[in-house]
């Protein structure tokens, strides 16, 4: 191989290398700052989100961040009560998905799995148990959270913090809870979540694979909107 050919190959290789690097940078920047999907490994949001669901995360729902960071460049909205959001846990910095229960300034309390917001109890009604048919004990009820109805799971024989006294959410923070109320590590345990830790809003299920049945697709859950 002549020196001239070697130089051409090196130049070509560098060119392809730069192109691949730029393509990867663009793709990962898009996932970091604009939109992504999360694979949900646990049942803390059942029956709304099941293990094996792939949820779409809109990272532009509330603000725009510098890619690969949580630094906000611009903000145009804040999470609303009832939103399902992805955030970094204040306990160990892992990414979690939970529902926004308390906004800054809200007073939150719970008595025997009944939530109170600013002194007023939420309304609950019956729900079809078939949504959690693979769970042996739990049952579901529908919670009305500021006009946004969604199912929550109750597990009577599972140890959980079902009651706590009134706490006030500080400014710039939020109170998060999982829909699987008796099997969720949330603000009852790790406290309030700072606004800057919120990555984006989870809006629908992109795809779903059943962990209990050889990862078979759950077609009925594909592109299902989250309540």
Distance separating alpha carbons of residues 219 and 210, to the nearest angstrom = 10
Q: How far apart are CA 175 and CA 102, in angstroms?
A: 5
Catalytic residue among 46, 59, 65, 98: 98
Please state, in angstroms and as integers, the Cα–Cα distance from residue 73 to each residue in 59, 69, 76, 193, following that order. 13, 11, 10, 20
Helix or strand or coil: residue 20?
Answer: helix
Distance CA 87, CA 94 (A): 8
Do residues 196 and 72 touch, judged by C-beta distance below 8 A? yes
Active site residue 44: yes
In our burial notation (b when 16+ CB lie closer than 10 A, e otherwise), range 136-157 reads eebebeebebeeeebbbbbbee
Spacing of C-alpha 167 from chain mean position: 23
Q: What are phi and psi of 117, to 5 degrees?
A: -120, 120
Q: Single out the residue of 198, 200, 181, 192 nearest to residue 102, CA to CA.
A: 192
Q: Which residue numbers are catalytic?
A: 44, 98
């Amino acid at each position: 191989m002549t020196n001239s050919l070697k130089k051409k190959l090196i130049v070509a290789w560098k060119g392809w290398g730069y192109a691949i690097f730029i393509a990867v940078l663009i793709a990962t920047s898009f996932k970091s700052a604009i939109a992504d999907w999360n694979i949900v490994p646990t049942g803390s949001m059942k029956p709304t989100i099941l293990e094996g669901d792939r949820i779409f995360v809109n990272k532009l729902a509330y603000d725009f961040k510098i890619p690969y960071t949580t630094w906000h460049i611009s903000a145009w909205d804040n999470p609303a009560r009832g939103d399902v959001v992805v955030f970094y846990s204040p306990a160990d910095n892992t990414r979690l998905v939970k529902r926004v229960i308390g906004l800054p300034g809200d007073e939150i309390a719970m008595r025997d799995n009944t939530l109170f917001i600013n002194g007023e109890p939420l309304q609950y009604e019956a729900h079809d148990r078939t949504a959690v048919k693979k769970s042996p004990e739990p049952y579901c009820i529908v919670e009305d959270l500021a006009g946004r109805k969604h199912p929550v799971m109750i597990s009577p024989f599972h140890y959980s913090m079902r009651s706590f006294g009134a706490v006030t959410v500080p400014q710039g923070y939020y109170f998060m809870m999982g829909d699987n109320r008796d099997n969720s590590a949330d603000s009852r345990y790790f406290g309030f979540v700072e606004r800057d830790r919120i990555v984006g809003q989870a809006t629908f299920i992109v795809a779903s694979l059943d962990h209990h049945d050889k990862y078979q697709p759950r077609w009925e859950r594909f592109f299902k909107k989250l309540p």
